[in-house]
Each structure stands twice: as structure tokens, then as C-alpha cells.
Amino acid sequence: MDPLPAGDQPTLRGAGLRLRPWRDDDADAVAAACQDPEIQRWTTVPVPYRHEDAAFFVGPLARQTWAEGGALFAVEGAGGLLGSMGLHHLVDGLGAVGYWTVPAARGRGVTSEALRVLSRWLLTERGAVRVELVAEPANTGSCRVAERAGFRREGVLRSRMLLRGERVDVAMYSLLPADLLPGVG
């Protein structure tokens, strides 16, 4: 993984939200959020999702991810936790991102805005030349998030991801520096 800068993970700001490093005291909110059947259906969170899983995610895993060149962020708004946004790896300028959103925040543009903020940071400050994300084609909400954030759908990768012990097809989306809209995110 290409290293990110030494020091503390930054807080990133967008319209009505911020992406901040996870804290140990976020475990209760993450444990509650990850009980959502849609998060469990479309992501790789453990099922059943226990408080211990949340404590590991917001603590050791988040710190390890930052140390290894990735970044996991809490997406937070005025009402509290809205979701999670993560850079899973950045290698040779290629970044892979993923996210989940709490049910109450869905359909409001929150996740698209958070994805724009993260992607702009990666492409303008972290040296990424391409940001990728994958979503199952049937996960229409996630596909809409990617498209509203400016990502372009490149095609379907057959049997690309292992989810709950089964191989699934995924739609590949990408964002390049030339795709960034001026002043957005």
C-alpha cells in the first residue's frame, strides 16, 4: 500500500457533514447501524454483527488501516452518525473506496456528498490518479450514490467479489482527476 502521510488522520468537511476518524466511543452507534439488513446484505460486515465487531472496527482496524495507507472515516452530520466511508487501499495511485449509510440518512444525498469529499481529497491531496468502487448491480442505491458523486460506470466484473461465501458480479465505477467538478466536494 502506498503510505499516507505520517501523523493524525485528517477530518474532511463537506456540505452539512464531516468525515472524521473513528473513535472508540463510536462502537455503540456502529453496532446499532450494522444491525440493518441492507448493510448486512450489501457489505462484508460480519453477520451476526456484535458489539465486539464494532469495537474492533472503530479501534484497532481503523488505526491499522491508517498505518497501512488506508483511511476509515465516520460520516457525521448534525444529528450524529450518518455512515462510514473508507479508503481500503491506495497502490500505485489507484484507490479503492467503500461505504455504508444508516437507514435514516438514505436518499438524502449524504453519501454522494461524503464520497465526493473523500474522492476529491484522494485525487487532489493524496496523489491518487484513479478512485474505484464496486457495487452489486442490484444494489441500485449504491450505484446511484456512485453516479451522483461523479463516478463513471465502466462495466460489470463477473464473479469478482466473495460475499457471504458466494461469488457475485459487481459493477465497476471509477473517478479520475479530470472528472472532478470545480468547487464540488
**Residues pairing with 24 in the sheet:** none
Q: In terms of DSSP bridges, do strands 17-21 and 94-101 run parallel, antiparallel, or are they unpaired?
A: unpaired
Reference 97, options 87, 112, 111, 84; nearest CA is 87
For 27, other C-beta atoms within 10 Å of its C-beta total 19
- Give the start-end residues of each E strand in 15-165: 17-21, 71-77, 80-91, 94-101, 130-135, 152-163
Grid cell of 138 as nine digits: 442490484
pTM higher than 0.75: yes
| CATH no., domain 13-132 | 3.40.630.30
pLDDT of residue 1: 43
Residue 79 CA to residue 81 CA, distance in Å, equals: 7
Averaged pLDDT, groups of 10, the chain, 185 residues long: 65 98 98 98 96 98 95 96 95 96 96 98 96 97 98 97 92 96 61
Question: 3-state class of 66 per DSSP?
Answer: helix
Nearest Cα residue to 124 out of 34, 12, 48: 12
Cis peptide before 21 (omega within 30 of 0): no
pLDDT (0 to 100) of residue 185: 54
